[in-house]
Amino acid sequence: MGRLIGLRLGGVVLVSLALGGLLGLTLGPVAPRLAAQATGSVGWFTDTLTHTLYIPLVTNFIEIDPCAPIPGTSYGQLGITNAPTERPAADHPDMNLAIRGYAPIDAPLTLVDYAGPTDARAPQLDTLFATPRLPTFTRAFQVHHWDWETMSRGPVITTPDVTLLGMAVNPGDTVHVPDSGYDIQYEYDALVLYASRERITLHYGREDHPGLGYVVHIEGICVEPSLLALYESLNAAGRWELPAVYGGQPIGRAWGDSIDVSIRDTGAFMDPRARKDWWKAH
């Protein structure tokens, strides 16, 4: 059976039923203009009164708005168990990873095996995706230390070798809360400590601070608009409550072909490649 697909040429959307590997479009008098714009990229056309343009089958041309609502999802909220953070979250180096910053590093883009104990309930990073999987790792970074005395960025963290890891996605893919064995109340896994159109920070605990429990930073994600609106409302109201999310719940979409993920345990940045901790199924 054919598939209904479209092609955008010079601002004009053409739609036809694709059969096999080639798409034949009868364009009429406008074909010379459209074909001229497409020369070198879409094949050839016949210079007759009615022009036919033969185009290889296109399957991934549809653009998805990363900031569009995600149908069928909604978000709760929970009160925190400590005082709200005094520093605005957008300016807080433990909540907004962009404040610390990070630098690229040449490191193996594979899972790494570490010795030592592990937490059976730790967040599993393969559940960042709609179908849990081990993604292709695309790039590695070292996050910067933060000098609290001078309130400035310090050198990069060198132990472990990698503290922020790129993972391959398709633009517009949904990104999900890494599932864990933790229940902070009513089966929620985590609170949203910070959210924007570029990133989100999740805390697997009830404190408005990353010093206890696990924290996951996700870069390159447009946070789902209703979740972002809820976060901004609760943040403006003093942060006595914060958005609460379930493990596996979609929280936004990827901007590009990679998302970057960092994970912390009791404040310390960990290696997101660690098989025994974050990728137990692999």
Nearest-10 Cα torsion for 232, 236, 242, 245:
-10
Q: Which two tokens stand for residue 8?
A: 């955008």
Asked if residue 90 has pLDDT above 90, the reply is yes
Q: CA–CA separation, 149 vs 144, rounded Å? A: 15
Q: Tens of pLDDT along 235-279?
A: 999 999 999 999 999 999 999 999 999 999 999 999 999 999 999
Given this model, what pLDDT does residue 3 score? 37
Task: Please say whether the beta carbons of 92 and 84 come within 8 A.
Answer: no
Kind plus residue range of the DSSP H or E element containing 236: helix 225-236
Q: Which two tokens stand for residue 103?
A: 């630098």
Asked if residue 39 has pLDDT above 80, the reply is no
Asked if residue 168 has pLDDT above 80, the reply is yes
Mean pLDDT on 102-111: 98
Mean pLDDT on 209-238: 97
What is the percent of the chain with per-residue pLDDT over 90, rounded to a whole number? 76
Given this model, what pLDDT does residue 59 score? 46
Q: CA–CA separation, 252 vs 220, rounded Å? A: 10
Higher pLDDT, 42 or 232: 232
Q: CA–CA separation, 187 vs 167, rounded Å? A: 27
Closest CA relative to residue 22, chosen from 60, 62, 51, 58? 58
Mean pLDDT on 137-160: 97
Mean pLDDT on 181-207: 98
Asked if residue 37 has pLDDT above 70, the reply is no
Q: Is the pTM of this model over 0.85?
A: no
Q: How confident is the model at residue 121 (pLDDT cuts 50, 70, 90)?
A: very high
Round the average pLDDT of the chain to a whole number and report it.
Answer: 84
Higher pLDDT, 58 or 220: 220
∠ CA(178), CA(184), CA(188), 5° rounding? 55
Q: How confident is the model at residue 2 (pLDDT cuts 50, 70, 90)?
A: very low
Asked if residue 48 has pLDDT above 50, the reply is no
Domains of the chain in start order, with CATH, are: 3-56 (no CATH), 76-278 (2.70.70.10)
Mean pLDDT on 95-119: 97
Q: Give the distance, in angstroms, between the CA of residue 216 and the centroid of all CA atoms in the same chain.
A: 12
Q: CA–CA separation, 267 vs 90, rounded Å? A: 18
